[in-house]
Amino acid sequence: MDCGFCEKSFEKTGRNQKFCSRSCRKKAYWRKHPDYKRKHAKLNAEIRSADEARLAYNEYMRLRRYNLTKEQLVELWERQGRRCAICPVEISLDAPIDHDHATDKVRGLLCHKCNRGLGQFEDSVVLLQKAILYLTNAVTERN
């Protein structure tokens, strides 16, 4: 059988196969629908702008929740050396904002692992001290 685009001979592997490759099938489609790319480029631009608007709104709500401005967030991030407040991992500005759940007062920016860790311990100093004691005893028993 001959390819419907490049006209090379090929052996059919499927019942409705008309092209020798995916590439030829796509090229034939673009030849048949020349305005497709233009329409979809416009649609993709609209989707991108909607996504950007959604992300901007999410960022606005995140800052509003903790009564922060973008400048205050950047200052906190710079003060922490662009690193997690607990471990030495570098973080970006969209890192989790750690806060006291009782007062909503911001404590700092954390990496995702440290934020989840504190969450698992429910911000309990007592539980964290017990975990430290547990780890310390396990290390001394190993040595």
d(CA 78, CA 72): 10
- The token pair that represents 52 in the structure block: 């950007």
Q: Which residues of the chain have pLDDT under 50?
A: none
d(CA 93, CA 13): 52
Q: Residue 112: how many CA atoms within 13 Å on its side-chain side?
A: 2
Determine, yes or no, domain membership for 5: no
Residue appearing with tokens 């020798």: 20
Residue pLDDT, tens place only, 80-112: 999 999 999 999 999 999 999 888 899 999 999
Question: Would you give the DSSP letter of residue 90?
Answer: B
Determine, yes or no, domain membership for 6: no
Determine, yes or no, domain membership for 15: no
CATH of the domain at 93: 3.40.1800.10
Q: Structural domain tally of the chain?
A: 1
pTM above 0.85, yes or no: no
Determine, yes or no, domain membership for 120: yes
Cβ neighbours of residue 77 closer than 8 Å, sequence gap 6 or more: 91, 93, 95, 109
Give residue 52's pLDDT.
87
Determine, yes or no, domain membership for 12: no
Give residue 37's pLDDT.
67
d(CA 18, CA 29): 12
Give residue 106's pLDDT.
95
Determine, yes or no, domain membership for 43: yes
Determine, yes or no, domain membership for 13: no
Domain that holds residue 111: 22-142
Determine, yes or no, domain membership for 46: yes
